[in-house]
Amino acid sequence: TYPRKNYFLKSTVNTFANSQTTATYAITGYVLSVLVVDSVTKEQVLTDVTFDNITALVNNSVTITVASAPTNALLVIITSIAVS
């Protein structure tokens, strides 16, 4: 038989400062979704999202890029699933 693996869902909230135009966040596990929200208005913000090494269980990263620095800080919510 195969060893049983435990999977867990993880959601992290990162702050993208209003002085930035790009930021990279390290993730452990498979990335399920990335949501970027204005911290003041709570509206979803359109950004470029780039994934590095997305099929690996470790050493993944997500890079967020905007055309110009935002007026307000942004919240980057990354949901992933990992194996323990």
Burial of residue 49 (CB within 10 Å: 0-12, 13-18, 19+) is middle
17-58: pLDDT as tens digits: 999 999 999 988 888 899 999 999 999 999 999 988 766 666
Distance of CA 7 to the CA centre of its chain: 19
* Residue 40 backbone class (left: φ over 0; alpha: ψ -120 to 50; beta: rest): alpha
pLDDT tens digits, 65-81 = 999 999 999 999 999 88
For the chain, the first-to-last Cα distance in angstroms comes to 18
For residue 39, the 8-state DSSP code is: T
pTM score, two decimals? 0.84
Q: Report the pLDDT value the prediction gives residue 54, as an integer from 0 to 100.
A: 64
Contact criterion met (CB below 8 Å) for 60 and 29: yes
Cβ atoms < 10 Å from Cβ of 38: 16
